[in-house]
Chain A
Amino acid sequence: MSDLVFKTRDALVELKNKVELMLDLAYSAVMLHDEKIAKEVLKLEEYFDWLCTHFQLLVLSIFQEEGSKNEILGLIRFSVSLEAMADAAARIAETVVRGLKTGYGLKVFSMVSEESEEFVSVAKISSKSRLAGKTLKETGIEEKLDIQILAVRRRDKWYFDPPKDFKLEAGDVIIVRGYAEALDDIKREAYGD
């Protein structure tokens, strides 16, 4: 496979992951009524637009090497659709930045979330938790509970989409995506039960 096709593939993976992250963060921002998370989504949206343009240029350059017209147009349309999804995430996050009254977001999202569904939740790492002082990889918690840690707040700083070697500390607040049962488990683990 040519280098350009590899690059295209990797760019696609990034686009798709970013859209998913943005939607999850947008829901979290509204639920927690957190302006910083909302602003991160808006920032990601700008970055996404750039990423998309970069991707589309890449696609046009593979056309010279391989791929039919139909396939190339398919790739471009696909990225345009992902961009529309990223815009939707930004629109949700905007409700927070525009000064949505505390409580309204939660009210809207309690309307749409159900116990059986995958959703986002918050947990605080206590000093007696076995998660404190370990990297995400060492805890193995994401694999064990089939959850995804979307963001970590440490004092006043946010770390979004933390890498596997990110070390959790006591006092960290984590935003997690997963099924209701797993979300209860992670809260227990974070509390140190």
Chain B
Amino acid sequence: MSIRHILRKMKDICSLMVDLAYFAYLKQKREISDLVLKLESEVDKLAYFLYMTASLAARDKDDAEFSAVLIKVGTAFNELANAAADIADMVKLSLSPHRSIQEAFEKTEETVDDVNVEANSLIDGKRVRDLEKFGIYIDIIALKRNNSWLLNPDRNFIIRGGDILIVRGNIEMLTKMREVCKHE
């Protein structure tokens, strides 16, 4: 794996993890909390790869300086992942969310929620990018099918009935999303 791949993967996973962790804690979703913890160990592995690759890449002083930057940024991503995991871990420790935090998150523009896709709903069999045709602009940050999770499904991914989606967007879009995921 190239340094570019490692760093990109770390950043992608970290930004997802923060959103997933908030969601898991606020809605007390054990399953999502487990997913965040799994991702955390993946980021750990990636950080280790990054340190090795960056160390091996340095041949002179200039290279070493670049490697130092890479390692520092990688470490910061790793810290982000750890912080997200600590938030998600609270679900397991039965540290329930106080209502002040529920309300704090209601005040933010974008929220994260889960949606079940019902068979024969409007969205069943459609691609992720087709959502725009319904006037729906949201991010699908994770998707569960057959007991396994997929992160950031790409625009050509086909959504199927039975999928569970974790989506991020504003309230209006989430409401629209829920409508097209229901069997009519």
Which residues of A come within 8 Å of B, CB atoms? Answer: 1, 5-6, 8-10, 12-13, 16, 30, 62, 67-68, 70-75, 77-78, 80-82, 84-85, 87-89, 91-92, 94-95, 100-101, 104-105, 107-108, 111-112, 114, 116
Residues of chain B contacted by A70 (CB below 8 angstroms): 94-96
Q: How far is the CB of A91 from chain B (nearest CB, A)?
A: 4
Q: A8-B98, A108-B7 are in contact. List 7 more A-B contacts (CB 8 A).
A: A9-B100, A9-B104, A16-B104, A88-B76, A89-B76, A92-B73, A116-B155
B 35-94 contacts with A by CB, 8 A:
62, 65-66, 69-70, 72-73, 75-77, 79-80, 82-84, 86-87, 90, 94
B70 to A67, Cβ gap below 8 A? no
B25 to A74, Cβ gap below 8 A? yes
Q: List 6 A-B contacts (CB under 8 A).
A: A71-B98, A74-B90, A74-B101, A81-B84, A87-B79, A88-B79
Per the bound structure, the CA–CA distance linking A82 and B101 in Å amounts to 13
Per the bound structure, the CA–CA distance linking A157 and B99 in Å amounts to 40
Given A74-B98, A75-B98, A91-B75, A104 contacting B65 (CB threshold 8 A): yes
B72 to A78, Cβ gap below 8 A? no
Per the bound structure, the CA–CA distance linking A42 and B58 in Å amounts to 29
Residues of chain A contacted by B90 (CB below 8 angstroms): 74, 77-78
Q: How far is the CB of A164 from chain B (nearest CB, A)?
A: 14
Per the bound structure, the CA–CA distance linking A67 and B103 in Å amounts to 14
Which residues of B come within 8 Å of A, CB atoms? Answer: 3-4, 7-8, 10-11, 18, 25, 62, 65-66, 69-70, 72-73, 75-77, 79-80, 82-84, 86-87, 90, 94-101, 103-104, 107-108, 155
Q: How far is the CB of B174 from chain A (nearest CB, A)?
A: 15
Tell me the nearest residue of chain A to B79, going by C-beta.
A88
Per the bound structure, the CA–CA distance linking A71 and B95 in Å amounts to 6
Residues of chain A contacted by B3 (CB below 8 angstroms): 111
Q: How far is the CB of A98 from chain B (nearest CB, A)?
A: 9
Residues of chain A contacted by B101 (CB below 8 angstroms): 9, 12, 74-75, 78
B66 to A104, Cβ gap below 8 A? yes
Tell me the nearest residue of chain A to B14, going by C-beta.
A88
A95 to B73, Cβ gap below 8 A? yes
Tell me the nearest residue of chain B to A148, going by C-beta.
B109
Tell me the nearest residue of chain A to B101, going by C-beta.
A12
Given A13-B104, A81-B86, A108 contacting B73 (CB threshold 8 A): yes
Given A67-B98, A70-B96, A87-B79, A107 contacting B66 (CB threshold 8 A): yes
Q: How far is the CB of B128 from chain A (nearest CB, A)?
A: 11
A62 to B100, Cβ gap below 8 A? yes
Tell me the nearest residue of chain A to B107, going by C-beta.
A13
Per the bound structure, the CA–CA distance linking A73 and B77 in Å amounts to 25
B65 to A74, Cβ gap below 8 A? no
